[in-house]
Amino acid sequence: MIEGGHPLEGRVRVGGNKNGALPIIAACLLTEQECVIDNVPRIRDVEVMADLVQATGAEVEWTATNTLRIRAAGDLTPSIDRMLSVRIRASILLAGPLLARCGSVLVPPPGGDVIGRRRIDTHLHAFAALGADVEVERDFTLTAPGGLVGTRFFMDEPSVTATENAIMAAVLAKGETTLINAACEPHVQDLCRFLVAMGAEIDGIGSNVLTIRGRAALGGARHTIGPDHIEVASFIGLAAVTPGVLVIEDVEPEDLHPVLHGFERLGVRIELDGRDLTVPDDQELVIRDDVGGQVPKLEDGPWPQFPADVTSIAVAVATQATGTVLIFEKMFENRLVFTDKLVSMGARIVLCDPHRALITGPSRLVGERVESPDIRAGMAMLIASLCAEGTTTIGNVGQIDRGYERIDERLRALGARIERISG
């Protein structure tokens, strides 16, 4: 329950990258030696991933609030727990490590946010290219009794999770693998750095062509997960629509170029000083038109384009900016369906089709009862509620908890009037 209209002021440190933590936890299955991961966000999706890894037979221990110790010694169960897998999309990330380590794996269909069709074909094509036999029924059965073999593989889409799965399978394959049209988001790069620390050989990190030279075995490693650029974007959105000065500490500037460019299109002023990012007070949000006064378009795409996970946040900020902007979410056809919740609060949004929303602002928002359908839509409604008149109640906050650690406590520390209630 949020009472709007109060300034956010102070300093906040973002957590570790959720989308980096999930594959890195899965990658610990590639070695029998101990791995220690620091700056792990203590959120629901990460805890489910830790449970999935433990269900294979690995030792998993939280040694501190944000530190995980994992040791996958001995024989592992070559299957992914069905009951846990339906809770997160990232359950499929265990397929690559288990296939490489055990020679086979049974993969139930993954769950996750209902934001549109999320194909897994690229995962299966990559495994097949590496020499696995793929059997598709209700579940997916992958077998490679003779081991995986390096290959040259063109990914038909730069899927983040498919790229991560292919990398994790390839690091234990015989010979050299080249992945073309690979995803290169910051969290993919972080996974690669962790694997290199374990002894893997990977060239081209940060590009869309990766070369992996397989090793017979990998060792343990200690790794600190990088800051979450999506959470940075979320706090920028929160600060842009409320009074007050907010300083976001210890960001990674190289991960923020597309995010900052997108917010600048919406008129958000941002100051970057080393690894500290400041959202100043008295924002005058004016959407920057295209040449000739044409309506601008803010569209997402594979890295280094504007991140798909920030489009919902951009929609909420745009409701408070003067002008009109077209948000074009090309990657998931259900991502923008949540905009009806903002319309019920007073936003002027035309949902042109499942991928495009036209937003005209600024709109006077009023408190309402809304439900959170997915992680980022939940954050967008939280942004809207903080600048709305009156009180907003957001239901199904478990969705927000999947991506943001203790968000209510952290916002209260900045001056927000927010309480977690039951019912």
**Six-digit token string for 372:** 């959170």
Q: Which is nearest to 360 in space by CA: 415, 289, 269, 299? A: 289
User: Where do the DSSP E strands lie in 174-215?
Assistant: 176-180, 201-203, 209-213
Angle between helices 257-265 and 229-240 (to 10 degrees): 20
Q: Is 113 a catalytic residue?
A: yes
Q: How far is CA 81 from the centre of its chain?
A: 22
Going across the sheet that includes 152-154, the strands are 152-154, 176-180, 209-213, 201-203
Q: Are 169 and 195 in contact (CB under 8 A)?
A: no
DSSP state of 290: B
- Backbone Cα Rg of the chain: 22
160: helix, strand or coil: helix
Catalytic residue of the set 38, 45, 81, 113: 113
325: helix, strand or coil: strand
Angle between helices 160-170 and 186-197 (to 10 degrees): 10
Cα dihedral: 114, 227, 49, 61 (round 10): -160
**Burial of 65 by CB count in 10 Å (0-12 exposed, 13-18 middle, 19+ buried)?**
exposed
Q: How far is CA 287 from the centre of its chain?
A: 26
The structure tokens 């265990």 sit at 94
176 phi, psi to nearest 5 deg: -105, 140
The structure tokens 């359908």 sit at 373
DSSP state of 108: P
**Six-digit token string for 152:** 């040259």
295: helix, strand or coil: coil
The set of catalytic residues is 113
